Homo-oligomer: A and B are copies of this chain.
Amino acid sequence: MGKKKISDAVIRRLPKYYRYLGDLLENGINRVSSNDLSKMTGFTASQIRQDLNNFGGFGQQGYGYDAMNLREEINKILGLNQKFRVVIVGAGNIGQAVANYAGFYEEGFEVLALFDKNPKLIGLRIRDIEIKDLDDLPGYLDDNEIDMGVICTPKAVSQDVADILTSHGIKAIWNFAPTDIKVDDDVAIEHVRMNESLYTLAYYYKQKNDTEE
Contact = CB atoms under 8 A, between A and B. Distances in A.
A203 B11 contact: yes
A148 interface: yes
B200 A190 contact: yes
Contact of A12 (B3, B11, B109, B200): B200
24 contacts: A1-B213, A3-B207, A11-B200, A11-B204, A12-B200, A14-B200, A15-B193, A15-B199, A18-B199, A78-B199, A78-B200, A78-B206, A79-B205, A80-B199, A80-B202, A92-B100, A93-B96, A94-B97, A101-B194, A103-B198, A104-B198, A174-B198, A185-B208, A188-B205
Nearest to A202: B79
Contacts of A195: 15, 19, 103
B200 A103 contact: no
A129 interface: no
B213 A3 contact: yes
Interface residues of A, number: 64
A100 B93 CA distance: 7
Interface in A119-135: none
Contacts of A188: 201, 204-205, 207-208
A196 B16 contact: yes
B3 A178 contact: no
Nearest to A13: B196
- Quickly give the copy total for this chain: 2
B15 A200 contact: yes
Contacts of A143: none
A203 B103 contact: no
A201 B92 CA distance: 23
Interface in A58-116: 77-80, 82, 84, 92-94, 96-97, 100-101, 103-104, 107, 109
A1 B104 CA distance: 50
